[in-house]
Structure 1
Amino acid sequence: MEALEAEGLAPELRLALAYTPATMRAPLATFFALDQRLARIVSAATEPMLAQMRLAWWRDMLAKPVEERPTGDAVLDAIGEHWQGREHALTRLVEGWEHLLAEPPLPREAALAFAAARAEPFLVLPGDEGEAGDIAISAQRWALVDAAANLSDQDERAMMLDLASKLATRRTALPRALRGLAVLDALALRSLRRGGRPLMEGRGAALTALRAGLLGR
């Protein structure tokens, strides 16, 4: 966990980790750190091909046995320690971010594929606990709303929020191991009600996170 501190996780991600059971924190922090790395690659892309090459590096690393990967990168090292045998879910995450490099305007199908792929790591974290459908819905809501809050293109932003709103009518029940996802989902639903504002904007965000962290909703 200490090695990942330099990654500077977003405030809502740190809150999610705070309410996550201790045994799950390191795997979840690793996922969040990789997710932020990939987000920066895509958001900074001026040439989609160069961004695709950087994403392909991660895909290639995840396909290698742990002992054949280079060492010294905090996120890659943490993946080897906490995600061994589950790298397929992180590969799906990489593929999800690649969908956002599609030619504008971003197709709805690409946004849906992104959300499904970004949700994938949450599905393997709790093992056999929890209903996969509920986990996927909560994770996809967060994936879409969080991405929308960071988009500058208003049409793409509106499209992602519309997709998230279609998931907002579904109530979900998450396992205790994914209490951190409950926090993110609650913040995403709050953001959706506020028109897609940043997840931690306003004084009510901390209360929303506290309630979800304690009660799971």
Structure 2
Amino acid sequence: MDARLAGLLRHSREPMLAQLRLSWWRESLGRDSAEWPAGEPLLVALRSWNGQHGALTALVDGWEAMTGPAPLPTQALQAMAQGRGDAFAALAQVLQRDGEIESARRLGSQWSLADVAIRLGNSEERAAASSVAIERREPLPRVSRSLRPLLVLSGLARHNLDRGNTGAAISPAAMLKALRLGLLGF
């Protein structure tokens, strides 16, 4: 879902077009899954969320905050972090990991800030996002095996931020880090 929404922004020449497409997703997620169009594979996959898909509207809101004019204010970066954190928390709830909802939310927020800090094209925005990511950094929480993919995402984004580029994600050190986080959980 996050990758699809990122693609909407990346491929929209005008912020208004991106906002219209995001609005469609927000409205779709707000409806009962029985009302969804059958031709959208992502919505078909979200039917397995058994009615809890509405929580993903926070992710749509986070991406919408990123449609503003450059340079984006810190509030937009924080809205994005909150949206991704809420999406991670929703996944924890869907997976019935109720005791780990806040840990998942923290992982999503930390992943978002580090990921955005590396990927933004505007140097002023990258610097602001890096500052916020470093300021809000905290130890990665321990989570159960079913939530470890979220731990891996957050850990690799942090690794990329520390090295200052997305190419760090394919280094041998990153691969070892991903294996350690995924298998051992720390």
What residue in structure 2 maps to residue 206 of structure 1? 175
- 1:150 match: 119
Find 2:159's aligned residue among 190, 197, 209. Answer: 190
1:78 aligns with 2:45: yes
Matched, 1:48 2:15: yes
- Map 1:55-204 to 2 at 5 A: 55-80=22-47, 82-126=48-92, 127-198=96-167, 200-204=169-173
> Cα distance, 1:93 vs. partner?
0.8
- Helix, strand or coil for the counterpart of 1:168? coil
CA contact (8 A) 1:149 1:196 kept: yes
Q: CA RMSD in A?
A: 1.7
Query: Number of paired residues?
Result: 183
The Cα shift of 1:175 comes to: 2.7
Deviations 1:127-153 (A, max 9, x none): 344344332222111112222322211
Provide the rounded CA distance (Å) in 2 between the counterparts of 1:63 and 1:214: 36
Mark the runs of 5 or more structure 1 residues left unpaired by the alignment.
1-33
The structural deviation recorded for 1:169 is 3.3
Given that 2:88 and 2:107 are in contact with CA atoms closer than 8 Å, whether structure 1 keeps it comes out as: no
TM-score normalised by structure 1 residue count? 0.77
Q: 1:169 to 1:120 in 2, by over 3 A?
A: closer
Amino acid at match of 1:62: L
- What amino acid does structure 2 have at the position aligned with 1:138? L
Give 2:184's aligned residue.
215
Greater RCO (CA < 8 Å, at least 6 residues apart): 1
Q: What SS does structure 1 have at the residue aligned with 2:169?
A: coil
CA deviations on 1:42-75 (whole Å, 9 max, x unpaired) are 1223211111001111111112222211101111
Q: 1: distance between equivalents of 2:98 and 2:37?
A: 33
- Contact kept? 1:52, 1:98, Cα under 8 Å: yes
Report the Cα distance in structure 2 between the residues aligned to 1:92 and 1:199, rounded to whole angstroms.
Answer: 29
Identity of aligned residues (%): 39
Structure 1 range deviating more: 51-60 or 173-182? 173-182
| Cα distance in 1 between the residues matched to 2:77 and 2:22 | 17
Matches within 5 A, 1:22-41: 34-41=1-8
Over 3 Å counting, the alpha-carbon distance change for 1:63 and 1:155 in structure 2 is same
Contact 2:115 2:161 in 1 (8 A): no
- Partners in 2 of 1:156 and 1:184 — Cα distance? 21
- Measure, in 2, the Cα distance between the counterparts of 1:66 and 1:134: 28
